[in-house]
Structure 1
């Protein structure tokens, strides 16, 4: 008596948990590489820190117009240092609130791995339900609004940036800029974040390629 034919058995996940979503690893690595090179390029324009605290160049401005002139001139010269100061104040503010920092990192990771660097042909499945790209984007946007604006993270970020900006403005108003010499090429430079322009387009293109 012939045995019945063996039927193929397909293994599927029935646990209902989060599916293993393939990540576009090359695109993510390219993103990290370009980000790292952009940061290094930006810090290459950083001024020596001792120039910020040189005692002979610190004096109270005579009037408001002189203070504004000093701030504008010092912002052009110390822009990388000032951004570093603001970022440091913001980092200290977040580190002092570890739960908010953890929540913010989780939100960033969700954007990176669930949307930006997830291949579009690999659907997102959570608890047995498949989410389209539009639904995933809507959930991430809604989660961002809730986390940033309906929790203490939003006020924490704003207060950190404002404190750092106040420190920068105070230093810029009291730092005499007469001994600072800007190159003509740097005077035409549109700003601190201009060094990111060259890497921004390839990074966006890499993220878009990961979605295809």
Structure 2
């Protein structure tokens, strides 16, 4: 019996009902940590690039004597200008994607599918599409098949390969004609530093952020 002055508790107001709340579609703290680690790694890598005037110094350009001399120059310039060269490759790739908005949208959609449907989706929330529930293995298999199809069987893959080949050709031509004698090749950074460390840092960050979700699905 309810005492005077009190309101009977209904089922919708029960403590058990308050405990069952819908979780966000992605693990927000892990996603934010991944983005923060990625941006900081990119900034760290870009801060270690060589001055651009050294890269485009016309007085240091000369034709190589032979293929051996060209290969030696490319190897030394790659070691010295690695951050600048990777930035140049990224610019060529970005320009190619911006010139083809359809391919850019397809890649962004593919990335969003991986992020929101598998990597950062809570394991206790099954994926339901058109009333059908998909298991984690079915979701992973569908994403892998979709990625292979987009990258290797559509014009998006040919665009990426063409852009990378153009970027590599530009880097090799510059490296062959840039005389490295005036570069401080002895003052090199450790192998795991520089812009290349951003790749490893971003990969480890993504693995660490997605590990709880992936491990719970295995």
TM class by shorter-chain length? 0.7 to 0.9
- In structure 2, relative to structure 1, the CA distance for the partners of 1:189 and 1:48 (3 Å cut) is same
Runs of 4+ displaced beyond 6 Å: none
TM-score (normalised: structure 2)? 0.83
Number of residue pairs aligned between Structure 1 and Structure 2: 195
Specify whether residues 153 and 143 from structure 1 end up closer, same or farther in structure 2 by C-alpha distance, changes over 3 A only: same
Structure 1 residue runs of 5 or longer lacking an equivalent are: 1-6, 10-19
1:1-212 matches, cutoff 5 A: 22-186=25-189, 188-189=190-191, 192-211=195-214, 212=216
Give the Cα–Cα distance (whole angstroms) in 2 for the partners of residues 131 and 21 of structure 1: 18
Tell me the secondary structure at the aligned position of residue 180 of structure 2: coil
**Secondary structure class of the residue paired with 2:128:** strand
Structure 2 vs 1, CA of residues 73 and 197 (structure 1 numbering), >3 Å: closer, same or farther?
same
Greater CA deviation, 57-66 or 139-148?
139-148
State the shift of 1:56 in Å: 1.2
Deviation string 1:126-152 (CA, Å, 9 cap, x unpaired) is 111111110000110111111111210
TM-score by length of 1: 0.85
1:119/1:210 contact within 8 Å kept: yes
Distance, in Å, in 1 between the alignment partners of 2:122 and 2:52 is 44
CA-based RMSD of the aligned residues comes to 2.1
Contact 2:62 2:179 in 1 (8 A): yes
Q: Is the Cα contact below 8 Å between 2:48 and 2:195 reproduced in 1? A: no
Distance 2:86 2:97 in 1: 16
Question: For the structure 1 residues 198 and 103, does the alpha-carbon distance in structure 2 shift closer, same or farther, using more than 3 Å as the test?
Answer: closer
Secondary structure of the residue aligned to 2:133 is: strand
Q: Do 1:22 and 1:119's aligned partners in 2 also have CA atoms closer than 8 Å? A: yes
Q: Is the 8 A contact 2:60 2:178 kept in 1?
A: yes
CA contact (8 A) 2:37 2:202 kept: yes
The Cα shift of 1:50 comes to 0.6
Structure 2 unaligned runs (5+)? 1-9, 13-22
